[in-house]
Amino acid sequence: MVTDNLSDILVLKTFAGLEDVLMKECEEAGLGPAEKGVRAVYIPHRKDSVIRANMALRTALRVLVPLGQFHIQTADDIYEGARQVRWSLFMKTESRFRVQSSVHSSLLKHTGYAVLRLKDAICDQVREVRGFRPTVDKVAPDWIVDLHIHENVVHLSLDTSGPPLFKRGWRRRNGEAPLNEVLAAALIRLAGWKDEEEDFFDLMCGSGTLVIEAADIASGKAPGLHGRPYSFMGYPGFDIRFHQKVKRDLASHRKEIKVKIWGSDADKEALAAARINAASAGHSDTIFLKKTDFRKLDFQPTGLLLLNPPYNKRIETPGIARLYQELGRFLKHQCHGARAGIFSGYSEALKRLGLKPSKTHKLFNGDIPCTLALFELFEGRRNEYLKLQHEQRLV
């Protein structure tokens, strides 16, 4: 593939706070050694790294091949810096490209102007070397150029993913404010779910993101086995036989699900969406879905309960304080022996739950600051529980 000649590293983009999770995942997938960045992880660029990283990693958003980095003082400096990149190395025929951008700089008043100067630099450099001007095509480009500017530092890369990697390919229906798939997979890892030993419950499952990601993890189904396309598949030199080899290797890790995966919600439409999505993901027989309010459950959940309750941010939720209070009582009185993870952007959530977390993680859901709070659920007083745990460790 052409991208193999461009850089000796790959940049894996992720959400703030998930860098350590992605680094560990890279090591487990044989893509290390991994180096931590800011909302990014860097790995060696080997022969199969582009394909494997896109298809195997659950907590990466994009896989980028770096092309260049430089500093600017004005928007026009983007043109001069971008002209130093050898665009003609891979744009050898009548190529089409588009630019995707992430610009956060006080030096630039208009993001669009930065993108325009980059497009001009690409077209002018290729025309001088190849004798033709490549075409900007937002719909069906041959190449996707990633422009990232933070203050005065510009990073240029090729995007090998296309649609961001949270778009696994199985989602057919959205609920209200659905959880991002990459974030869902990260929450499951941060909660330390033992997928061969612990049952998994999401009692506010919405359109099913958490339970579907859990089923993928428990069954060893890599994200890339859902059949979505990637931009690297259209790059010159793409070897479909090698792609199939990676797919076969990922498929060889499939396994039988040994635990119960349960999703429930009080909303009928949300459950309908979850059933459609679960079927699309190939998990209609492995995820149990039921319409019910958690307060009306007639059994005691075990294993891991991982919930993403309403925040009262994107969706107005009347009585949200009472909802969290009742959730806290439910966990304390009906879930003895289980573990729980509550992911919320409601600032008063932990206070309303009335439970003391064993661990917390500060994350974001989009631009909403959130907390993942993890709980050990036990009967009786906390200090007595901790004393018992200490004594058991000494035996």
Give per-residue pLDDT as tens, 50-75.
999 999 999 999 999 999 999 999 88
pLDDT at 383: 45
Q: Of 129-133, 223-227, 275-279, which gets the smallest average pLDDT?
A: 129-133
Q: Which of 40, 48, 50, 85 is nearest to 231 (CA)?
A: 50
- CATH 3.40.50.150 given to domain 181-221+247-387: yes
Res 2: pLDDT: 64
SS (H, E, C) 248-298: HHHHCCCCCCCCCEEEEECCHHHHHHHHHHHHHCCCCCCEEEEECCHHHCC
Q: How many C-beta atoms lie closer than 10 Å to residue 288's C-beta?
A: 13
Q: Which two tokens stand for residue 196?
A: 């061969």
Name the token pair of 23: 């680094």
Provide the 10 A C-beta neighbour count for residue 298.
5
DSSP code of residue 178:
P
| Tens digits of residue pLDDT in 340-362 | 999 999 988 889 999 999 999 99
Beta carbons within 10 angstroms of residue 46's beta carbon: 13
Question: Sorting pLDDT into bands at 50, 70 and 90, what band is 111?
Answer: confident
The radius of gyration of the chain's CA atoms, rounded to the nearest angstrom, is 24
Within the chain, residue ranges assigned H as helices are 19-28, 49-56, 76-82, 111-130, 181-190, 209-219, 240-251, 268-280, 320-334, 349-353, 382-394
The CA angle 308-23-220, to the nearest 5 degrees, is: 65
What predicted TM-score, i.e. pTM, was given to this entire model?
Answer: 0.91
Q: Record the tokens describing residue 256, joined without a space.
A: 């039988």
**Parallel, antiparallel, or unpaired: how do β-strands 96-104 and 9-13 relate?**
unpaired
For the chain, helix (H) and strand (E) counts, in that order, are 11, 15
Q: What is the dihedral of CA 233, 236, 239, 244, to 10 degrees?
A: 0
Instruction: Please tell us whether the domain made up of 2-159 is placed in CATH 3.40.50.1110.
Output: no
Q: Which residue has the tokens 């997928």?
A: 195
Q: Is the pLDDT of residue 380 over 60?
A: no
Angle subtended at Cα 373 by Cα 302 and Cα 307, rounded to the nearest 5 degrees: 50
The CATH 3.40.50.150 portion of the chain extends over 181-221+247-387
| 201 φ, ψ (degrees, to nearest 5) | -130, 130
Least confident of 108-112, 217-221, 243-247, 284-288: 108-112
Beta-carbon contacts of 90 under 8 Å, excluding residues fewer than 6 positions away, are 2, 3, 6, 143, 158, 235, 236
All CATH 3.30.2130.30 domain ranges of the chain, comma separated, are 2-159
Query: For residue 73, how far is the Cα from the chain centroid?
Result: 33
Nearest residue to 299 (alpha-carbon basis) of 323, 326, 264, 271: 264
